């Protein structure tokens, strides 16, 4: 077994294309301690762990293991050096047994000729590690029959079987129940007591304060502060996470073109889809922009999918223009006037090999058909040209494949496609994800213009500036629950950022004693 040792990053830099994700990060993970990374979505936490685990190669800086500069070109090399990453989503192969998954790539073989897999040794070694963890799972069970919590712990068992003494946990608690979290923390506490070097990522403040010895806050790829347990302060951590300068400090001027009072066009009451979210209620009026704020996993996208009819609801009602659409098909919901622009435009929003004209018309094919049912290609091109001009898409022709456009122009085409259906409500999931600053501003202006024309808009965003810029009201979600509703001057970076983390406290919170937690 590899001895416990310090793992450190010295000036780590990581870029993806032209985007720098880590800016010269200096950090240390010490034996016998749990060192937690906190930060907003996109702060660089998972990227840092993947660099330390050999999944990504740094573009600058040095990784030190036991004080020795080390190049970790692959995860296998990192594991040979004693570093193992437990991923956020377990990567077990469902049809293989627990012991096969644990030993995959490291199967023990017999010493004779021909060499064969020593299955008895494989099972006995797996069982010994499972017993060490106190995990009530048989080595011959199929991985697909395990709960998510059990799969997470089998990933941890893989690290122990390989003799790794540095284990990095990337949001392992996100899919777990309270009881399962308690069991995982019990395992981590035992490993800490045995001198293992442990890294941990979590958005859950209470969990972080409960289990951590050290907390480092990342913001926009920079390490801004590291605190040790005696100095933990909830308010200070939140401030450091969301404390970047927010250049947009004002909301858009809300303009409703209809007479006041205005009835809601979308009414969501008691909507549930366990375990993603529960008892969500809100209304949106014509010309209003409602922001849904929260970290990834808070339930925002799942709410949109349930409203749009692509995710099953366990309870609740959705009313559009006074009509109950709770059980309606997606096609009927679109015909009734509600559209959903998903976060991943490449997978769900656009058909990349097809032309701009084909993409734009795909949301409303009936509008470009001959009476005999054939597509009217001239009408398709004419409609596309009008929308390309209206939405400011930079393209040389409606026949141009959409995959040749920039991310911002692709997003404009997706918006144009759905606006071509003449909706009354639009749900926009991360509408500026992966677009540059200039394109962001153009998309903001498009959204504001659509709202001024009377469109009711729901914007899902992880970007504080975006929410402040666009929203008339903000609903903040935390782990599937609505924890705050903000409007007017309440929509500030500080208040929205705290709500992201499920926190309403203005001052420091008491930190539970680790032994009694």
Tens digits of per-residue pLDDT, 293-334?
887 778 898 999 999 988 888 899 999 999 999 989 988 998
Structure confidence at residue 251 (pLDDT): 57
Same domain, yes or no: 386 and 452: no
pLDDT at 61 over 90: yes
Mean pLDDT score, 21-31:
94
Structure confidence at residue 257 (pLDDT): 43
Q: 372-400 as b/e, with b when 16 or more CB fall inside 10 Å?
A: eeeeeeeebbebbbebbeebebebeebeb
* Distance, CA of 9 to CA of 7 (rounded, Å): 7
Structure confidence at residue 32 (pLDDT): 94
Helix, coil or strand: residue 162:
coil
Same domain, yes or no: 227 and 288: no
Give the residue ranges of DSSP H helices in 424-475. Answer: 437-452, 464-470
Same domain, yes or no: 371 and 496: no
Closest CA to 38 of 173, 192, 225, 296: 225
Query: Which of 6-15, 270-279, 425-434 is the least confident region?
Result: 425-434
Same domain, yes or no: 74 and 165: yes
> Residue 242 — pLDDT band, cuts 50, 70, 90?
low
Total count of domains within the chain: 4
Structure confidence at residue 132 (pLDDT): 81
Return the higher-pLDDT residue of 209 and 504.
Answer: 209
pLDDT at 498 over 50: yes
Structure confidence at residue 422 (pLDDT): 87
Hey, how many other C-beta atoms are within 10 angstroms of the C-beta on 104?
12
pLDDT above 70 covers a percentage of the chain that reads 85
> Residue 106 — pLDDT band, cuts 50, 70, 90?
confident
Query: Which of 120-124, 208-212, 265-269, 316-320 is the least confident region?
Result: 120-124
pLDDT at 258 over 80: no
Structure confidence at residue 231 (pLDDT): 86
CA 103 to chain centre: 30
Average pLDDT, the chain: 82
pTM exceeds 0.85 for this model? no
Structure tokens at 30: 């010490």
pLDDT in tens, 137-189: 888 888 888 877 788 888 888 888 888 899 999 888 766 767 778 888 988 99
Same domain, yes or no: 444 and 318: yes
CATH number of the structural domain spanning residue 71:
3.40.50.300
Instruction: Please provide residue 491's backbone torsions phi and psi, each rounded to the nearest 5 degrees.
Output: -80, 85
Structure confidence at residue 260 (pLDDT): 47
* Distance, CA of 41 to CA of 21 (rounded, Å): 12
Examine residue 477 and state whether it is found in any structural domain, yes or no: yes
- The CA-CA-CA angle for residues 178, 179, 184, to 5°, reads 95
Same domain, yes or no: 82 and 216: yes
Examine residue 184 and state whether it is found in any structural domain, yes or no: yes
Return the higher-pLDDT residue of 78 and 298.
Answer: 78
Structure confidence at residue 492 (pLDDT): 82
> Residue 505 — pLDDT band, cuts 50, 70, 90?
very low
Give the residue ranges of DSSP H helices in 13-162. Answer: 45-52, 75-80, 98-103, 119-133, 148-161
Q: Which of 197, 215, 242 is the last residue of a domain?
A: 242
Structure tokens at 196: 């293992």
Q: Which residues partner with 13 through β-bridges?
A: 60
Domain that holds residue 192: 7-92+153-242
* Distance, CA of 10 to CA of 22 (rounded, Å): 12
Structure confidence at residue 199 (pLDDT): 95
Same domain, yes or no: 320 and 211: no
Return the higher-pLDDT residue of 16 and 26.
Answer: 26
Helix, coil or strand: residue 268:
strand
Helix, coil or strand: residue 484:
strand
Burial of 309 from C-beta contacts in 10 A (0-12 / 13-18 / 19+)? buried
| Secondary structure in 3-state letters for 195-238 | CCEEEEECCCHHHHHHHCCEEEEEECCEEEEEEEHHHCCHHHHH
pLDDT at 345 over 70: no
> End-to-end alpha-carbon separation of the chain, Å?
31
> Is the Cβ–Cβ distance between 349 and 341 less than 8 Å?
yes
Same domain, yes or no: 414 and 429: no
């Amino acid at each position: 077994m590899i001895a416990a040792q310090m793992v450190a990053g010295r000036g780590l830099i990581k870029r993806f294309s032209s985007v720098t994700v880590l800016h010269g990060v200096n950090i240390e993970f010490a034996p016998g301690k749990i060192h937690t990374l906190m930060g907003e979505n996109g702060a660089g936490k998972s990227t840092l762990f993947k660099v330390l685990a050999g999944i990504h190669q740094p573009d600058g800086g040095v990784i030190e293991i036991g004080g020795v500069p080390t190049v970790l070109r692959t995860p296998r090399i990192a594991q040979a050096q004693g570093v193992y990453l437990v991923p956020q989503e377990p990567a077990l192969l469902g049809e293989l047994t627990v012991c096969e998954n644990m030993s995959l790539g490291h199967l023990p073989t017999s010493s004779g000729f021909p060499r064969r897999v020593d299955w008895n040794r494989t099972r006995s070694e797996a069982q010994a590690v499972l017993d060490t963890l106190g995990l009530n799972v048989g080595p011959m069970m199929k991985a697909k029959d395990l709960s998510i919590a059990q799969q997470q712990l089998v990933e941890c068992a893989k690290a122990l079987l390989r003799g790794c003494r540095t284990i990095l946990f990337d949001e392992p608690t996100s899919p777990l129940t309270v009881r399962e979290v308690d069991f995982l923390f019990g395992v981590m506490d035992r490993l800490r007591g045995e001198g293992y070097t442990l890294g941990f990522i979590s958005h859950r403040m209470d969990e972080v304060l409960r289990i951590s010895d050290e907390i480092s806050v990342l913001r926009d790829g920079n390490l801004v502060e590291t605190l040790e347990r005696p100095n933990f302060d909830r308010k200070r951590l939140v401030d450091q996470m969301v404390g970047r300068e927010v250049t947009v400090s004002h909301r858009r001027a809300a303009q409703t073109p209809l007479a006041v009072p205005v009835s809601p066009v979308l009414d969501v009451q008691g909507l549930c889809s366990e375990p993603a979210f529960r008892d969500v209620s809100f209304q949106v009026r014509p010309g209003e922009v409602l922001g849904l704020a929260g970290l990834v996993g808070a339930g925002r996208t799942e709410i949109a999918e349930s409203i749009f009819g692509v995710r099953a609801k366990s309870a609740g009602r959705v009313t559009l223009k006074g009509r109950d659409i709770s059980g309606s098909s997606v096609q009927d919901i679109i015909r009734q006037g509600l559209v959903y622009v998903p976060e991943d435009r490449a997978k769900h929003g656009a058909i990349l090999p097809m032309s701009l004209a084909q993409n734009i018309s795909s949301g409303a094919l009936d509008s470009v058909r001959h009476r005999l049912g054939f597509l009217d290609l001239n009408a398709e091109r004419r409609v596309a040209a009008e929308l390309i001009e209206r939405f400011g898409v930079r393209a040389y022709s409606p026949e141009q494949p959409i995959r040749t456009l920039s991310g911002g122009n692709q997003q404009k085409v997706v918006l144009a496609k759905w606006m071509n259906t003449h909706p009354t409500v639009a749900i926009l999931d991360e509408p500026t994800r992966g677009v540059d600053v200039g394109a962001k501003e153009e998309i903001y202006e498009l959204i504001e213009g659509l709202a001024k024309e009377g469109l009711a808009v729901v914007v899902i965003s992880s970007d504080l500036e975006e929410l402040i810029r666009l929203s008339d009201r903000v609903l903040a979600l935390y782990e599937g629950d609505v924890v705050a509703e903000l409007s007017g001057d309440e929509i500030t970076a500080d208040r929205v950022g705290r709500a992201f983390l499920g926190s309403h406290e203005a001052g420091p919170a008491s930190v539970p004693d680790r032994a009694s937690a």
